Structure 1
Amino acid sequence: MFGRSRSWVGGGHGKSSRNIHSLDHLKYLYHVLTKNTTVTEQNRNLLVETIRSITEILIWGDQNDSSVFDFFLEKNMFVFFLNILRQKSGRYVCVQLLQTLNILFENISHETSLYYLLSNNYVNSIIVHKFDFSDEEIMAYYISFLKTLSLKLNNHTVHFFYNEHTNDFALYTEAIKFFNHPESMVRIAVRTITLNVYKVSVDNQAMLHYIRDKTAVPYFSNLVWFIGSHVIELDNCVQTDEEHRNRGKLSDLVAEHLDHLHYLNDILIINCEFLNDVLTDHLLNRLFLPLYVYSLENHGKGGERPKISLPVSLYLLSQVFLIIHHAPLVNSLAEVILNGDLSEMYAKAEQDVQRSSAKPSIRCFVKPPETLERSLEMNKHKGKRRVQKRPNYKNVGEEEDEEKGPTEDAQEDAEKAKGTEGGPAGVKTSGESEEIEMVIMERSKLSELAACSSVQEQNTTDEEKSAAATSSESVQWSRPFLDMVYHALDSPDDDYHALFVLCLLYAMSHNKGMDPEKLERIQLPVPNVAEKTTYNHLLAERLIRIMNNAAQPDGKIRLATLELSCLLLKQQVLTASGCILKDVHLACLEGAREESVHLVRHFYKGEEIFLDMFEDEYRSMTMKPMNVEYLMMDASILLPPTGTPLTGIDFVKRLPCGDVEKTRRAIRVFFMLRCLSLQLRGEPETQLPLTREEDLIKTDDVLDLNNSDLIACTVVTKDGGMAQRFLAVDIYQMSLVEPDVSRLGWGVVKFAGLLQDMQVTGVEDDSRALNITVHKPASSPHSRPFPILQATFVFSDHIRCIIAKQRLAKGRIQARRMKMQRIAALLDLPIQPTTEVLGFGLGSSSSTQHLPFRFYDQGRRGSSDPTVQRSVFASVDKVPDAPTSPEQPQPHLPDQLVIVNEIADSKPSKSSARGAEVETAHLSPSLLPAQQPTISLLSEDAADSLSVESLTLVPPVDPHSLHTLAGIPGPPVPAAGCTATPDEEAPAPLSTEAKQEPGLQRPWRHGTSRPGSQGKATLQK
């Protein structure tokens, strides 16, 4: 619609050698215009191309030759454009003319050139020309032309558009006539034009008075009615869309309301006092109070007054406080919501019928008596009849003048209102109107003292809940809107209304224009308050009740509601000096946290991917905290809460569906309540996340690899690159290192990835190669994991390939098992009796979290968890030859290896073989190592086959080291597949072998496991 034609005419009207960018060519085009003053079917294409060429020459002349504009002005060539329009030349010519004019004004950069074009008032004549606006293309180019002109407005150019003598401003008045155009792009352009006009009018008093006295009231009254009509349509859409079928239309209506609020806020931000007064009055008394706020109260009292449903009212008010920050507006609105009383309003309704109908400013949502276009035309012809008095607007301090002045205008307005509404409807609307005075809690000093004393009593007698409830009811009796707020929070069935109430409280407390004293008067949460000693007990109890309901197995509280409740409670009771929450409320909160722990215990081990969900939910919660502004832009929360993901609604904004989503919800509830509990008690988080960045090896770290076990391999990436690396397996990670050229025995980490995010598969035609993929942890449960490494690892022989695969598979299982143990500790679950974690049979009752080999010094980064020590890399290329240093604590035997102590005849028992089968059977399919060919390095008569699970290294150890095995208790459940004889001594042949040749690699013995190695390595940044 707004596309530009690119077919600029070159030299088709004369000789091909003529320079199209020249004064001579402009003179030629002028000659063409003079010969074709009348538009016909034969010459209309010629005229259109001539106008395009003239526009191109003018743009060129603006940059290169000022004589072009001199000639244009001298010959008054703009008259030709105007004459062509006035000839009713048809759609084709109008569209092309508007398009070229728009391009011309967009590309003019020098003010002198702009003055040439705007002189003689020809542009205003084009603006007021009666185009056929039923043609959407003409409408599009016309409004785009007006917007381009408005962008050129400044203190100098404004005089070309606003005529002080005739009191006319065509650019503005013609634009606002399309404020309610069906096409959204036209409405947006009108808003841009008006904002540009208002910005310039701040420094031009004459134009400002014209806008205020001639156009502000008609425009704002019609705009407010237009916004209210959209709101009623939005409410009807919500009421009739229980099945979520009209979400597209609902989203459009919500987006339109947001656009309106942003537009109103942009006007208020300009800070033009006259305009702000008029706009604030109309918004409060014609829209926000009668339609939004009064809909909060009991619908039975208002008769047939236009109202919207409670959820829509709360939702829209939240948007108002989140977007608009004009202090007089938001404070007046909050005063009525927090302290308003409607008892007098209904009592005076009947006797105020006649007076309200004649009052210029009335508090009711009513259609303007006449359209905006008619109002502008009438004001234009009235001249200065009502310049000194603003129609339909009540000037401060002019009440006496209004009483003494003539009443014919007021009577005329009343008659118009009755005629517009159609007889009885007009009388009804007038009878339900109120005066502009804010109806607030100003009964008497006695009632104020009663309210204050009741609040104080509520603060001091928190143990007596019944007394607190009685006192709160006495306060709320004369505050119907505040009463509704507290009542909506106490809904045990669902959180449909509670979510909107919490959003409203959040929006009011974070509004920059809000007076904090208004919130503190009723002890609502106020952020960034240095010192406070009390808080609203009733609100705190309602919030804690929401948290307790969320922690129930069948709770109907959505995650968004819970997060907002936690946010508001922290805002209420946390100060710079600490937490002021009373012990009884803290105990209730701790009870809710305990309920959330029990809820997560129910799902522990219930899903194979519990660990992945646990970490994903914590990552999502910390990386993407709730943004209330974004939440209130989502139209889907206006619909009743649903439990199906088929609607496409975000998980935090709906109820869970199925066991997986119930598990996710339980985990998130646990995280939120745990975080809140720790913050209120002033304790740091020491157990989450399960994997800390400071505990991990990072790329380019320099490690001391002396006496470390590594597997040499060639890494072939997808793009064909090859690199020689050493593979090392850590407690949580696999690493690829290369030797450091500066120091022998040191290595530089070239890649490090988490074992739990790794996939290992064999290569069909190469027994020495493995395909390894390491994924980056997903930022959300729905996003696809991004691979940070996809490569083929080629080893020197198939033996090392098998060992590498077995080590990576076991390392992955061990990493997941350790994290599951940490989760168990978080949930206060017993760890010792557990014989299986994620299908991996434990071979020891020890709760150690160490790997079996050796440890390196953590001098580079201090671990935040002292109980978790770093492992060194266990492998086949090197074996340690030094025992553990005296100051190094003796590491426990690893839990992930099957412990099989050989009996005196050094033959494995059959029960251990059966245990290995049981262990493999318990593994989930994704964690099962691929089957490998049977390998036997030592022939054993009693050994049937060598499983991958039993492929471990036997490092050289001293006899006394083997003797320490006796101190390790056996597994509590023999059925786990491991038989251990703690009192057995190590077999003599092995200890003798270790004494004789400590530096040689040892052959594997079937059924044996590798004890803890005593070597030590250091880490240096």
Structure 2
Amino acid sequence: MFHNTMLSRISGLFRTKPRDRFSVDMVMFYGEELAATPVVTDKTAEGVVEILRAVAELVIWGDQNDGAIFDAFMEVGMLDALFRILKQNPPHVVVVQGLQTLSILLSQITAQTSIYFILSNNRINNIITHAFDSSNEEILAYYVTFLKTLALKLDNTTIQFFFNVEERTFPLYTEAIRYYNHSESMIAAAVRTLTLQVFRIPNAALRTFLVSPPVAPYFPALITTLATHAHRLQAAVTAASSDPASGPVRVRAALDALLDHLFYIHDIYALGLAGINSVLTTSLLNDLVRPVLVASVTRSSSELSSELALFLLAQLFHTLDDPLLIRALTSALLTEDVAVRQALVAALNLNVGTDELALPALACLYAVVSNDAVRSRDLAAAGLARARPLSLTSLASLEDRESTSWGNSSQFSSCDSEIAEAEPSDSLATDLSASAATDASTVEPAPPAEHNEPAPLPAPSLSLLSLPSSSPAASPAASATDSPSAHDATRYDTPSLDTPFPDALLVTKLLLLAHHPTRSRLATMHLTTALLSLLLGSSLPAHPALRTLFDIAYVLVVERLRSAFFELPLNLFTAMFEDEYLAAQRPPRLDHALADPSLLLPVARTSLSGLDLAKRLPSGELEDVTRALQTFFIFRNAKATLLPLTLASPAGLPWIDAPPPLAVGDSIALQSLQSPPMPCTGSRDADTPDAANVPRMLVIAPPAAPHLFVLVERPAPDAGDATVVLVGHLAGLAVTTDATDMSVIHGLVQPPSPLLRTRKWSFWAAFPSMSDALTAKSELERGRAAADAARLTAIANHMGVAPSSLTHAL
């Protein structure tokens, strides 16, 4: 050994480095250099690292420019030399560079024959199975990256270099899955990418191998890991109640880890491999859903809280879409065990003080009903039939059917809490409907709130419908178009305990949410209305009693908003209304809400929590008004879905919905104006001073745009038309007279809504005399008053109230 080493060193003295950096001679030179270093030590490590780095660069260049370079690379046995070096467990910098060199070569070489040469003769498998120091995070990261790079080269042809069918060995896969749950997220992500690439290969022997011992336990292990993430999330949620500062951050981190793992399982399902999906489904149901999640919902197990269990069930339905799995999940949740349905009923009870449990329950039911993979007949078996398109011609038969089934039902009285017993049924519909009826008559008062609220409704909900019903022969058109108020409740039938949907519970819950607006989060209203829309669609007119409940709730919401109108200055309220009007045009992202960790935390009651108002209770007068506005738009959007024919189509807010009817550059016919224009000079304050010498005219509330004022220029002194050079809104306009020159006025234009992304701006106008300036100021103020009144009238029309109930605030 000593003799060979000495010969290598002596021969090295006579080796000279070729001048041509990219040549076959350079490859031979590097090969001789590695051969001359049989043992890598700390002293020689740096030189070996440089050689490996240079070899990678040289071979990649040769792949694109000179094929002889790769031939020389294989001829000198560079891969064998590299494996010989790695087997020595050299300094970690050499190991890292060796793995990085292999990854670069495999990812950058394009010639397929070159890839085959590298993968042949079992060289790569020997490197894969080498026992690297996995305790070194840097080495492990490069090793897993190397494995992932190999996996990306896998196809039905290259799989033969890694998977031995006769010996049933696949080191690339078996070595990689050891790190599927590594604490370092990048390593775990690389393993997931590798496994998904393996699963995609259309090789029957390989797919049989994947679901057979000894590697088959990988899939149950994925479900066990998912359960572990669930328990970690539970621990984070429990700790967050005593640590409001950093607790939510830990909850978010734990939830992100769980969702990452769940999306990986979704990606496996999405490949559509029946064998793997069957193993996953069996393990998911038997190791997580039934013993942990469902048991926690029914409180037969204390592993997780009911809130978290419902939340996680919602995640499963929201994330996974394999039809067979969803069918099994639906059965496990809704039809297998009556205790689950009873627990859902308890979670969705009418006591608005249980928002912490009701919100995850709503999220769970919404995720179930909105999942396209859930079969309608499975939902119908659980009493959760989706809405179907309903024509006006079918309303008569539906009204007859509903009146027949409801007309003989027991009556609910505010003075009597006796409820007729429902017929035994295994459907969720019976449980939910019975709960709606029972809770409607025996609802417990919620704890006192800090904010002023309306007096409690006497026996809210179904007891309002206890008087005898009218004849079912009412006109279907009238049934579809009338919009009853709270005083019309006696016109409708009382729903029986076996109504086919849990609609009574949901609509009655809306009624109480409307009556106690500061005791539940807006997210609860969003999910309740969204779920109700999925269940009923536009068929609410066919359910007279439920329609009455909804109309009562809508009246309460509107009345609450009308009361809030007088709690703030007019300009502030109208600006807030316009903001929420614009925000309501964008439908809420319920998919984001379903995965929001704030659903798992105690309900926050202050803005210091950092949560959006939709995820917490309001704090202070301003947030109470904002809450009233947002509640109104939630209900109004729901009414547009549930009762589309009863909701008038107002003009909306024209100054927001449509661009201004006049813009700079437009032409105005001066003879069409109702009042003569006022000669002046003027411009925006930000314009150049040259505008002071240009004769212009002030036009207030032109016929085409009564809510605007404009400055115009005549192209010629006797022209009948004028060109618009400045446009501003009259509403909210502030006008003052110049302190030094009474013939000059200044105006501050306030945009209708900050969400329109237009800033405040100011202008000036100079008139021939002080009296002309005062007249212009007076006319502008009169136009502002008229614009404010029109603005308020449009808001009143949108709210569905008489403008006179608001305009006296002017």
Report whether the alignment pairs 1:291 with 2:292.
yes
Give the letter aligned to residue 339 of structure 1. Answer: T
Report whether the alignment pairs 1:582 with 2:578.
no
Say if 2:313 and 2:364, in contact at 8 Å, map to a contact too: yes
| Residue aligning to 2:446 | none
CA distance in 2 between counterparts of 1:834 and 1:628 reads 34
1:640 to 562, 581, 602: 602
Q: TM-score, normalised to structure 1's length?
A: 0.61
| Residue aligning to 2:787 | 815
Deviation at 1:663, TM superposition (A): 0.8
Deviation at 1:485, TM superposition (A): 1.3
Say if 1:820 and 1:837, in contact at 8 Å, map to a contact too: no
Say if 1:292 and 1:316, in contact at 8 Å, map to a contact too: yes
1:601 to 546, 557, 562: 562
| Residue aligning to 1:496 | 356
| Residue aligning to 1:656 | 618
Report whether the alignment pairs 1:573 with 2:536.
yes
Q: TM-score, normalised to structure 2's length?
A: 0.76
Instruction: Please say which of residues 594-603 and 812-821 is displaced more in the overlay.
Output: 812-821
Q: For residues 2-25 of structure 1, what are the alpha-carbon distances to aligned partners after superposition, in whole Å with 9 as ceiling and x for unaligned?
A: xxxxxxxxxxx9989823223232
CA distance in 1 between counterparts of 2:255 and 2:699 reads 56
- CA gap of 1:802–1:216, structure 2 versus 1, over 3 A, is farther
| Residue aligning to 2:41 | 40
Give the letter aligned to residue 286 of structure 1. Answer: D
Deviation at 1:56, TM superposition (A): 0.3
| Residue aligning to 1:687 | 650
CA distance in 1 between counterparts of 2:120 and 2:679 reads 85
Q: Name the SS for the 1:37 alignment partner.
A: coil
Say if 1:758 and 1:775, in contact at 8 Å, map to a contact too: no
| Residue aligning to 1:325 | 321
- CA gap of 1:494–1:252, structure 2 versus 1, over 3 A, is same
The 5 Å alignment of 1:96-495 reads: 96-200=97-201, 203-243=202-242, 244-245=244-245, 246-297=247-298, 299=299, 302=300, 305=301, 307-341=303-337, 479-492=338-351, 493-495=353-355
Deviation at 1:91, TM superposition (A): 1.4
Report whether the alignment pairs 1:614 with 2:577.
yes
1:516 to 373, 376, 391: 376
2:661 to 684, 694, 697: 697
Say if 1:509 and 1:527, in contact at 8 Å, map to a contact too: no
| Residue aligning to 2:27 | 26
CA distance in 1 between counterparts of 2:67 and 2:528 reads 67
Say if 2:18 and 2:25, in contact at 8 Å, map to a contact too: no
Give the letter aligned to residue 544 of structure 1. Answer: V
CA distance in 2 between counterparts of 1:700 and 1:89 reads 76
Deviation at 1:517, TM superposition (A): 0.3
CA distance in 2 between counterparts of 1:541 and 1:703 reads 58
In structure 2, list runs of 5 or more residues that go unmatched.
Answer: 1-13, 403-428, 430-498
CA distance in 2 between counterparts of 1:163 and 1:809 reads 88
Say if 2:226 and 2:262, in contact at 8 Å, map to a contact too: no
CA distance in 1 between counterparts of 2:769 and 2:52 reads 81
| Residue aligning to 1:879 | none
Q: Name the SS for the 1:337 alignment partner.
A: helix
Deviation at 1:235, TM superposition (A): 1.4
- CA gap of 1:675–1:47, structure 2 versus 1, over 3 A, is closer
- CA gap of 1:753–1:261, structure 2 versus 1, over 3 A, is farther
- CA gap of 1:658–1:131, structure 2 versus 1, over 3 A, is same
Q: Name the SS for the 1:214 alignment partner.
A: coil
Give the letter aligned to residue 668 of structure 1. Answer: Q
CA distance in 1 between counterparts of 2:134 and 2:741 reads 74
Q: For residues 544-602 of structure 1, what are the alpha-carbon distances to aligned partners after superposition, in whole Å with 9 as ceiling and x for unaligned?
A: 22211222255412212112222222222235xx5454222211211111111221222
- CA gap of 1:695–1:179, structure 2 versus 1, over 3 A, is closer
CA distance in 1 between counterparts of 2:25 and 2:687 reads 62
Q: Name the SS for the 1:704 alignment partner.
A: strand
Q: Name the SS for the 1:640 alignment partner.
A: coil
CA distance in 1 between counterparts of 2:689 and 2:274 reads 69
Q: Name the SS for the 2:505 alignment partner.
A: helix
| Residue aligning to 1:778 | 754
Report whether the alignment pairs 1:559 with 2:522.
yes
CA distance in 2 between counterparts of 1:765 and 1:106 reads 77
- CA gap of 1:69–1:705, structure 2 versus 1, over 3 A, is same
Say if 2:518 and 2:617, in contact at 8 Å, map to a contact too: no
| Residue aligning to 2:708 | 733
Q: Name the SS for the 1:59 alignment partner.
A: helix
Deviation at 1:108, TM superposition (A): 2.1
Q: For residues 183-214 of structure 1, what are the alpha-carbon distances to aligned partners after superposition, in whole Å with 9 as ceiling and x for unaligned?
A: 112111111111111011xx111111211113
Deviation at 1:277, TM superposition (A): 1.2
Deviation at 1:700, TM superposition (A): 6.5
Say if 1:494 and 1:556, in contact at 8 Å, map to a contact too: no
- CA gap of 1:236–1:43, structure 2 versus 1, over 3 A, is closer
Give the letter aligned to residue 559 of structure 2. Answer: H
Say if 2:683 and 2:764, in contact at 8 Å, map to a contact too: yes
CA distance in 2 between counterparts of 1:38 and 1:776 reads 78
Deviation at 1:790, TM superposition (A): 4.9
Give aligned pairs, total. Answer: 673
Say if 2:318 and 2:367, in contact at 8 Å, map to a contact too: yes
CA distance in 1 between counterparts of 2:537 and 2:28 reads 78
Give the letter aligned to residue 314 of structure 1. Answer: L
Q: For residues 254-296 of structure 1, what are the alpha-carbon distances to aligned partners after superposition, in whole Å with 9 as ceiling and x for unaligned?
A: 1112112211111111111111111111111111221111211
- CA gap of 1:181–1:701, structure 2 versus 1, over 3 A, is same
Q: Name the SS for the 2:530 alignment partner.
A: helix
In structure 1, list runs of 5 or more residues that go unmatched.
Answer: 1-12, 342-478, 780-784, 839-1021
CA distance in 2 between counterparts of 1:734 and 1:820 reads 19
Deviation at 1:748, TM superposition (A): 5.4
Give the letter aligned to residue 335 of structure 1. Answer: S
Deviation at 1:80, TM superposition (A): 1.5
- CA gap of 1:695–1:32, structure 2 versus 1, over 3 A, is closer
- CA gap of 1:565–1:796, structure 2 versus 1, over 3 A, is same
Deviation at 1:310, TM superposition (A): 0.6
Q: For residues 907-957 of structure 1, what are the alpha-carbon distances to aligned partners after superposition, in whole Å with 9 as ceiling and x for unaligned?
A: xxxxxxxxxxxxxxxxxxxxxxxxxxxxxxxxxxxxxxxxxxxxxxxxxxx
Say if 2:31 and 2:77, in contact at 8 Å, map to a contact too: no
Q: Name the SS for the 1:213 alignment partner.
A: coil
Report whether the alignment pairs 1:745 with 2:720.
yes
Deviation at 1:41, TM superposition (A): 2.5
Say if 1:735 and 1:750, in contact at 8 Å, map to a contact too: yes
- CA gap of 1:720–1:160, structure 2 versus 1, over 3 A, is farther
Say if 1:269 and 1:326, in contact at 8 Å, map to a contact too: yes
Give the letter aligned to residue 369 of structure 2. Answer: S
Deviation at 1:529, TM superposition (A): 5.7
Say if 2:379 and 2:386, in contact at 8 Å, map to a contact too: yes
Deviation at 1:325, TM superposition (A): 0.7
Deviation at 1:250, TM superposition (A): 0.5
Q: Name the SS for the 1:177 alignment partner.
A: helix
Deviation at 1:113, TM superposition (A): 2.6
- CA gap of 1:322–1:601, structure 2 versus 1, over 3 A, is same
